[in-house]
Structure 1
């Protein structure tokens, strides 16, 4: 595929790097990318406010050698029905202007936003990539279920191809939409060398945001068992009850909470630990998810202990252990503390990481786009015509 890809994200470029940014960066290895931020309120984000006029004119910011970023400004109360409608109109105006200004023809549009519609008037291939169970995430996302449902239905009608990050989520969306949904799981960084021959520190590590998605009973059990626990990631909880429990957790003498850490530093920290933790609670939302952290641990050569969720069974690796309850989780963590993986385990994890790298995911997505292109008109050029 030639030309650029427009990637409509479910987050902001400078937020915590997740599925969208990692997949977009991998796509950029072969194609220029026009990245579109999730709408952000101008009163909360100074950068969005200062760039609002430029965004409406379709002006972008270079954030990587072949990635341009478009911010979408949103008005106050943008999650209300009226605010959402106005935000949608603003977003369409910004995206249309960016398409016209783009120095490269846009050959495809990937949309992974739960609220932003595909740009109108484009006849390039469109992929709707569903990264989470948005219909079960109204409280987490901050929009009403009715608005999220309407946005999903609208994008499902527009999409030529629909993908989802897990088998369960694909089946759910397929039943909802009455059409096939391809599985495009999350990926991981390529393995970057040997962990070394020295035994790792007897430390368990948890990477990611601290919020309501985590099973705090398990984390409290790990801490209460005296297991050294390093937590890498910011707090993002909304519940006061969860907030109080997190306060108590990070006060344990054996818990080392690092907060938000630059992405390049996370990998270094993983190499100092013995075992990675994926302690998600058993909820509808989590059952449809595909946690990024599990594959990232394995990519770093780090064995994993995870809770019993469908995505855990999708990863076939002897270095991944699945726990059914807090006591079992603690026991499995203790088994791995201070133990270096065998050469066979290291090779298995390395092979798994290569097979599931973000580059391989981007390649799979490009194949879907290329297949869809056969039934589509050519690219949308900057004069607003189809080449």
Structure 2
């Protein structure tokens, strides 16, 4: 299978002198996550070709949110941003198919880069099973290790050994290795890489209007309110949410619930009068729901995958001026802030939530939380990323974040 990239209107790229190709793990048109947040900020330093994770004609059968693909398409999505949506064979990363699909992705990237007509300064790869290194004749090969992929392989129905072997190979081929969490940094360092730690950031501007946002119409809970924003699935320690609800605290859940995740316990939790679940909400509506929340929760279960992650929601709660109570994750320890309360067992977690709920909403405390989140913004992370992959602004300068806690550390 070799589909030609559809002829695009790329007038917006006429002034590009170079670009960075980012092979993402999340679609540009899906929920805005770390890949898109970084790409948007990185585009302030250098033009970016954002490559969606590939899909096949079979993908829409199991993903109702994805339309049937026609042909690979490259399009301008912003002044300094182009996007390519690769189409591959059914089976995606399955053994026996992954090699062919990896080559298909490389060919489609190669054609897209040819259409853009600029050299590629760096190709950033985050998919260890469908690596695209070499597709764009890039000057620099960058491996962006976003999570402990081997630790989370079972959640995706993949063989952890296969994933680990693939990651070692990709890291060995990379000129630069960038990790998103302290655990993944240490893991790859132990394997002989020289990784740079640049954790995930947040978008403070997206939460600047929380206090003036409209009240959500589908939330009727007495305050104060504890809340969880995000997917509710096997990564969540349900016992911690149960402890909060059983103590009588108002609990708001914002995000999709995996129907296979502890269905009986979830049904019992959602049956409580002090618990409201509003399901998935678009990003632009989140300020309204965060306005209703006094304490944001990060109740992750202790697994290898979670230990290797860097939850976005912790910084987003703080960016909204809200308290944050989290389980004791390495990422939380790295942030090293008294503004984030950690607790592990259900009684400890409930007690921490209760203590934060009893605090009066203080303008000074909310400002401190927002200032901390600002020091970990995606703008700062992108500046560190640009410096790490040695790209320059049009004037030839290289910006670094200059934050209180720089992300780029080796």
> Which shifted more, 60-69 or 345-354?
60-69
Alignment: residue pair count? 363
Deviation at 1:141, TM superposition (A): 2.8
1:15 is aligned, of 30, 39, 56, to 30
Contact 1:79 1:142 (C-alpha < 8 Å) held by counterparts: no
1:50 counterpart residue number? 69
Q: Residues 69-88 of structure 1 correspond to what in structure 2 (within 5 A)?
A: 69-88=83-102
Give, in angstroms, the shift of residue 194 of structure 1: 7.3
- Give the equivalent residue in structure 2 for 1:162: 177
Q: Which runs of 5+ in 2 are unaligned?
A: 1-15, 213-221, 393-410
CA distance in 1, matches of 2:303, 2:187: 15
Task: Quote how far apart the aligned CAs of 1:34 are.
Answer: 0.9
Structure 2 counterparts to residues 31-42 of structure 1, below 5 A:
31-42=46-57
The 1-side partners of 2:319 and 2:116 are apart by 36
Query: Does the Cα contact within 8 Å between 1:117 and 1:154 map onto a contact in 2?
Result: no
Task: Give the Å deviation of 1:85.
Answer: 1.9
Corresponding residue of 2:384: 364
Q: Does 1:25 align with 2:52?
A: no
Distance 1:33 1:106 in 2: 9
CA RMSD in angstroms comes to 2.5
Give 1:141's aligned residue.
Answer: 156
Q: 8 Å contact 2:240–2:299 — kept in the other structure?
A: yes
How much does 1:338 deviate? 5.9
Match of 1:228 in 2: 250
Separation in structure 1 between the aligned mates of residue 24 and residue 140 of structure 2, nearest angstrom: 17
Rate the CA distance shift 1:96–1:243 in 2: closer, same or farther, 3 A.
farther
Q: In 2, distance between residues paired with 1:16 and 1:247? A: 26
Cα contact 1:41–1:48 (8 A) shared by 2: no
Query: 1:211-269: CA deviations, max 9, x gaps?
Result: 111101101111222211111111246xx452433333223222211111111111231
Shift of 1:139: 1.8
- Relative to the length of structure 2, the TM-score reads 0.82
CA displacement 1:107-164 (0-9 Å, x = unmatched): 2221222322133252412221111100111122333224423431332122111111
CA distance in 1, matches of 2:166, 2:67: 23
Counterparts of 2:271 and 2:94 in 1: how far apart (Å)?
A: 38
Shift of residue 349, structure 1, vs aligned partner: 1.4
Normalized per residue, the structure richer in helix is 1
- Deviation at residue 48 of structure 1 after TM alignment: 6.4
Which of residues 119, 128, 131 is equivalent to 1:114?
128
The verdict on how the C-alpha distance between 1:254 and 1:265 changes in structure 2, with shifts beyond 3 A counting, is same
Q: Is the 8 A contact 2:128 2:170 kept in 1?
A: no
Q: Which runs of 5+ in 1 are unaligned?
A: 373-387
Give SS of 2:168's match. Answer: helix
Q: Among 188, 191, 194, which residue is 1:173 paired with? A: 188
